Chains A and B, each alone.
Chain A
């Protein structure tokens, strides 16, 4: 499969290049992002230090000197950023259906009780729904992790059912506790650690999103489904 959709390719630094598909948040565009990332990872070059997916873009960060020295060996004298741009474009042309991206679905237990889902009543009122309907709509869909960012392990997921899409608070709360599940427009996400935050908090998961060795539960490209649990099981699971 070759990708002929429009894109922009530009350096964002003297050691990073971004390929930008443009457009709003859309699953199809983000799927292209993860396919391109998988292809780049399979054809990795010496000196590439990070490949960072976002909603509709992929950024390749590299060590200038390593890539430059590699080029000298190959007697190719291109500016290093052009060389990286060519490599990204080549992967965009070649990436095929045999590029494997993850299909596994991760189930996240969430307690939607208003004692931990402090904005769930507000979200329900905004849309003339009961809190039970909000829970049903939030747990009905399988979400894609578009990207990680903001905090280590914070997963931006979507797309939230239009019936419960709610904009973030105008000013962020000074403290949102770890495990809080929120909605911001078309996105849903989980705070992996205590942090200031502006998302509408509709529930909380007892699962840690990041362990002591900095391994993440939710990575870019993961598929996620939420499962409602009672306050009692939330408290039990939190103690484990």
Chain B
């Protein structure tokens, strides 16, 4: 065991990458809501991208390290308290057994990710107080005990700013855009959408001036994806998130582009944004740019870790 939850937070859970190949049986892909923060946390501690991490909301869990380990946190928290010291996000940190990590500082976003070297063993459902979490494998890197220090930051920080945007989310238009009144289509980019309190890992309900639409055609259920903008009869939008149902029968007026899903996942309840339509070609170019940047960051993390521990 490397970690114990000593105070449960709001909806803490263990998450991997979305699972594949089971959607035709009705299984939601699930996985971390913010794949960028998930991937960066893993890269910082030398894990493969698919390693499981802890996803936390606010208030976040209080975590006891039961073993000396290398960890990192990413996402909504820029800093945290490790015993009495302040430690920062997006850095690899070596921690002693017995240290306690808590998040008391201001949060800028909605979700915090914690990765530990070796990754966590997947465990379904919400994390409870006293849940002890095993890491999948033991620590690969050799380092001297850090003695009196509680923590040792290895000295570099991943810059994740370029991956996030606020205020505006880009979408491609969906197959049922034609249910919208033409006037509504023309003015769509002026609308603001607020993330409603009834939002969760399945979907975000958006509040806006009701969207004017024609009577819904009789639509048969078809597959839906993460990011699908479903128009409900009341003229409000539900955006499907990680734990979405696999099929749906509401008109699909658009889909959030993959490159903006991390930004959307980090928008807290009550925040608002506008929607900009982009073409499929733009959406594809933006995935490519984001994935290349993420790959570069992952490579840099790997290189730094190898260099650090080979010098020891």
Residues of A within 8 A of B (CB): 8, 10-16, 18, 20, 24-25, 37, 49-57, 59, 61, 63-65, 68, 79-81, 147-154, 156, 214, 216, 219-220
Contact = CB atoms under 8 A, between A and B. Distances in A.
Given A52-B246, A68-B288, A148-B26, A14 B283 contact: yes
A214 B174 CA distance: 32
Given A57-B223, A65-B291, A81 B280 contact: yes
Contacts of B281: 79
B27 A214 contact: yes
B155 interface: no
Contact of A149 (B22, B172, B245, B257): B245
Given A13-B227, A18-B222, A49-B21, A54 B26 contact: no
A206 to B, nearest CB: 21
B247 interface: yes
Given A14-B258, A14-B280, A81-B280, A61 B23 contact: yes
Secondary structure class of chain A's binding surface, majority of residues: mixed
A79 B26 contact: no
24 contacts: A12-B223, A12-B228, A13-B172, A13-B227, A14-B255, A49-B21, A50-B22, A54-B221, A55-B222, A56-B220, A57-B220, A57-B222, A63-B20, A64-B287, A64-B288, A79-B280, A79-B281, A79-B284, A81-B280, A81-B284, A148-B26, A149-B223, A152-B28, A216-B25
B252 interface: yes
Contacts of A25: 220
A15 to B, nearest CB: 6
A18 B175 contact: yes
B20 A55 contact: no
Given A12-B174, A49-B21, A54-B220, A147 B247 contact: yes
B227 A219 contact: no
B42 interface: no
A79 B288 CA distance: 12
Interface in B15-45: 20-29
B260 to A, nearest CB: 10
A219 B225 contact: no
B224 interface: yes
A14 B252 CA distance: 14
Given A14-B280, A54-B222, A54-B247, 4 more contacts: A16-B225, A50-B24, A150-B245, A153-B25
A37 B23 CA distance: 13
Contacts of A81: 280, 284
A138 B228 CA distance: 36
Given A52-B246, A53-B24, A64-B284, A13 B175 contact: no
Nearest to A63: B20
B30 to A, nearest CB: 11
A20 B283 contact: no
B27 to A, nearest CB: 5
A149 B225 contact: no
A172 B75 CA distance: 38
Contact of A61 (B28, B222, B225, B284): B225
Nearest to B247: A149
A154 B27 CA distance: 10
A161 to B, nearest CB: 20
A199 B252 CA distance: 24
Contacts of A219: 24-25
B220 A149 contact: no
A11 B172 contact: yes
A184 to B, nearest CB: 11
A15 B284 CA distance: 9
A124 B162 CA distance: 62
Contacts of B225: 12-13, 15-16, 59, 61
Given A52-B24, A61-B23, A149-B245, A12 B221 contact: no
Contacts of B291: 64-65
Contacts of B22: 50, 152, 214
Contacts of A64: 258, 284, 287-288, 291
